[in-house]
A = this chain, B = another copy of it.
Amino acid sequence: MSLSPFVPTPKLDDYRERFKDHFKLERRADGVLLAQAHTLGGSIQLSVENHRALGQLFKTIGADPENELLILTGSGEHFMAALDPDGFALERENLQHWAYEYAYKDGRINVSALVNDLEIPTIGLLNGPGFHTEIVLMCDISLAAQGATIFDLHYDIGSVPADGIHNCFQELLGVKRAAYALLTGQAITAEQALEWGMVNEVVPRDELIARSYAIADHIMTQPRTVRRLTTQIVRRPWKQRIVNDLDGGFGIQMFGHVAKKKAVHGEGHIRSTVDYVREGRENNFD
């Protein structure tokens, strides 16, 4: 016996409870874990709290050796289309403090944890229209619901788009389409996203989880080591991308944000900014 014992790893029963306000967690006997992000059981309403919880969850899942594959999705009709009405009070109260503690630090951890803390394959499900779609698009495999749209609202709310969405769009769309999407707020339909290689499949929204289980079943046919080593191979471009461009890009975003001396995450502000998406238009100027 070794002179010192193992430090225990997290147990699902514990962390399912700890994260229950933000995620519904279900794990099959074979280790396939489904994480459904939600706010009060419905679609995500972004707040500093659930923003931080995301990276915390990824790190916890990654530390539990009993997880074998992660399926990640939102809840309800939208992936993320609204803010928690008081979710950014901290930004309004102290922009400078918020900027490092809740935006720069937590935001980089979210992206880094998805890519660096999970040894296991990941399948992201875009269940509906949303921003911050990098979270499901940077999974190894991504499926979108029919009717989902991908768009980035940063520029239109006066923020430099560089908190990971730029990594995601530049990796998946290339420099030309990414620049246009980021500068114009282009709403990209699921079908267009499929054609452009942003997602792997488009399925009806109510079949999304079943389809992801079918793919998971296939992946689970191979042994643990093969699954996990293959994951390192297929995910490597994401690891390289975020090392090269996340810390600095996000610094540029925060510089611009703090220099404006005003909060941008007003709930109404966001809502009106993305009206065009709800109306099925490609941007807010055509």
Contacts and interface: CB of A to CB of B under 8 A. Distances in A.
Interface of A: 1-9, 18-19, 21-22, 39-40, 45, 47-50, 52-53, 56-57, 59, 63, 65, 84-87, 89, 96, 99-101, 104-105, 112, 116, 119, 121, 137, 140-142, 155-156, 158-162, 166, 170-180, 182-184, 196-200, 214-215, 217-219, 221-226, 228-230, 232-240, 243-245, 247-249, 251-256, 258-261, 283-286
25 contacts: A4-B22, A4-B53, A5-B49, A6-B53, A7-B18, A7-B53, A65-B101, A96-B260, A141-B179, A155-B222, A155-B226, A158-B226, A160-B229, A160-B233, A176-B197, A180-B200, A182-B233, A217-B285, A218-B285, A229-B253, A233-B253, A247-B248, A251-B254, A255-B255, A255-B258
A59 B10 CA distance: 13
A147 to B, nearest CB: 20
B59 A222 contact: no
Contacts of A119: 105
A256 B225 contact: yes
Nearest to A159: B226
Given A3-B39, A176-B197, 12 more contacts: A3-B45, A4-B84, A99-B259, A100-B259, A104-B255, A116-B116, A140-B179, A161-B230, A161-B233, A170-B237, A233-B249, A236-B245
